[in-house]
Amino acid sequence: MITTSSKRLGALAFAAMFVIGACSSSGSSAAPSAGASAAAPSAAAPSTAASQAAPASAAAGAAGSITVSGSSTVEPISTAIAEAFKAANPDFNYKIEGPGTGDGFKRFCAGETDISDASRKIKPTGEADVCAAAGIEYIELPIAFDGMTVMTSPENSAVTCLSFADLYALTGPESTGFKKWSDAQALATELKSNTKFPDADLALTGPGEESGTYDSFIELALKGIATERKQDATVTRPDYIASSNDNAIIEGVAGSPSSLGWVGFAFAQENADKVKELGVSKDPNGTCVLPSAETIADGSYPLSRTLYIYVNKAKLAANPAVKAYVDYYLADGTISTALQTVPYVNLPADQLAASQAAWQAAQ
């Protein structure tokens, strides 16, 4: 039995591409799902040999089951690829869940899952050391890029760009209790920002602590300033609406005319009619950059990150379905085809080749 909590209909369209390809010697594929973001095709924009390769053919005959848990950001990629692999291998089954990167690593380091999806690297303390204590060895495999989109309501015309200083003033540990945007003005000014905040309610919605998106946001946007100011560099302000459901975050931001929140780039892109994406500057009063496939791939967007899968080595040795699935996952053309319907950003060819080499070396 297949169980999956995928949040994208685009994954089904991706699987359909491979069903069509398996039935046709011409290798033709279906067009991207209409449910995917209008920007989805550009997610495969980097001109690399890997991204231009035809979709990989899933060798028939694989059987068995795999269990994957972790990042809700990576979940749609892993699900789309599993559905395509299943289309050519009816005896292959999978369970893929997206409770968050942190929760996924808890299960992974307890030996409960074969693969852990992650939107950040495994933490040395509290995760990697827990795995080591349990005797669990793993293979870390970068598979794509993503960005975190800072967003507000389309009705909020007063805000178009925020610097890291602004984000710290609004969402960092020293902003606890701020109920209006303007409450953060003095702190932002102290941090050398010239941004003028509106005198409007600050309705904050974002990922919870179980999410890799939460950790990545702190690491990229808040940690440097928090450390300089001798504040806790591992947390945001606690008083906001936190959710492990990315769609709930979108709805929270869309539901207030003066909202603020952050979520994975792909989710914001898919909901561009509901939210307004904001430009981000690393430096106070610097040049703002909007998130896009291009700015995430070239690193010019300040809130860019790498996405990973982690494979349990013992599960790999004991379960042929794990090897078959990851072989297919990393084959030329598989991820880039998935990214036509789930709008993340391809790794450059040399980085994908490095993941492929690491996978082969571990077997």
pLDDT tens track for 250-305: 999 999 999 999 999 989 999 999 999 999 999 999 999 999 989 998 889 999 99
Residue 47 has pLDDT above 70, yes or no: no
> What's the rounded mean pLDDT across residues 111-120?
97
Lowest mean pLDDT among 49-58, 118-127, 265-274, 315-324: 49-58
Please report, to the nearest 10 degrees, the dihedral formed by the alpha carbons of residues 114, 120, 126, 132 taken in order. Answer: 40
φ/ψ of 341, rounded to 5, equals -120, -15
Give the SS3 label for residue 114: coil
C-alpha triplet 72, 117, 206: angle, nearest 5°: 30
Q: Which is nearest to 270 in space by CA: 89, 16, 34?
A: 34
Local confidence band at 40 (pLDDT 50, 70, 90 cut-offs): very low
Sign of CA dihedral 82, 83, 89, 92: positive
Residue 243 has pLDDT above 50, yes or no: yes
> What's the rounded mean pLDDT across residues 82-93?
97
Q: Which is nearest to 189 in space by CA: 284, 272, 295, 112?
A: 284
Which pairing describes strands 115-118 and 161-163: parallel, antiparallel, or unpaired?
A: unpaired
The more confidently predicted of residues 9 and 326 is 326
67 and 114 Cβ atoms separated by less than 8 Å: yes
Residue 28 has pLDDT above 50, yes or no: no
Sign of CA dihedral 266, 270, 104, 282: positive
287 and 334 Cβ atoms separated by less than 8 Å: no
pLDDT at 109: 98
pTM of the model: 0.75
Local confidence band at 359 (pLDDT 50, 70, 90 cut-offs): very high
β-pair partners for 262: 150
Q: What share of the chain has pLDDT > 90, as a percent?
A: 78
Residue 35 has pLDDT above 60, yes or no: no
How far are the Cα atoms of 101, 173, 190, 315 from residue 111, in angstroms, in the given order? 15, 34, 47, 9
> What's the rounded mean pLDDT across residues 219-228?
96
Sign of CA dihedral 35, 39, 43, 48: positive
Lowest mean pLDDT among 19-28, 132-141, 208-217, 249-258: 19-28
Q: Any residues with CB less than 8 A from the CB of 114 and at least 6 apart, and which?
A: 66, 67, 68, 311, 312, 315, 316, 319, 322
Residue 38 has pLDDT above 90, yes or no: no
pLDDT at 58: 72
What gap in Å lies between CA 67 and CA 107, rounded to an integer?
A: 10
Q: Is 182 exposed, middle or buried (0-12, 13-18, 19+ CB in 10 A)?
A: middle
33 and 12 Cβ atoms separated by less than 8 Å: yes
According to DSSP, residue 141 is labeled: E
Tell me which residue has tokens 């699900």: 79
For the record, the structure tokens of 90 come out as: 């009816």
> What's the rounded mean pLDDT across residues 161-166?
98
Residue 319 has pLDDT above 70, yes or no: yes
* Spans of all domains in the chain: 3-145+307-361, 148-304
Tell me which residue has tokens 């950059």: 289
* Number of Cβ atoms within 10 Å of the Cβ of 245: 17
Domain 3-145+307-361 is found in CATH 3.40.50.1100: no
> What rounded mean pLDDT belongs to the chain?
87
Lowest mean pLDDT among 27-31, 72-76, 345-349: 27-31
pLDDT at 307: 96
The predicted-structure confidence for 189-219, as pLDDT tens digits, reads as follows 999 999 999 999 999 999 999 888 999 999 9
pLDDT at 55: 55
Q: Which is nearest to 150 in space by CA: 217, 65, 89, 75?
A: 217
Residue 245 has pLDDT above 80, yes or no: yes
C-alpha triplet 31, 3, 20: angle, nearest 5°: 25
Local confidence band at 56 (pLDDT 50, 70, 90 cut-offs): low
Residue 311 has pLDDT above 90, yes or no: yes
pLDDT at 329: 98
CATH topology identical between 3-145+307-361 and 148-304: yes
What gap in Å lies between CA 210 and CA 24, rounded to an integer?
A: 43
What gap in Å lies between CA 241 and CA 232, rounded to an integer?
A: 20
pLDDT at 336: 95
pLDDT at 297: 86
For the record, the structure tokens of 198 come out as: 């509106």
pLDDT at 12: 45
Q: Domain spanning 148-304 has what CATH number?
A: 3.40.190.10
Tell me which residue has tokens 């953060």: 184
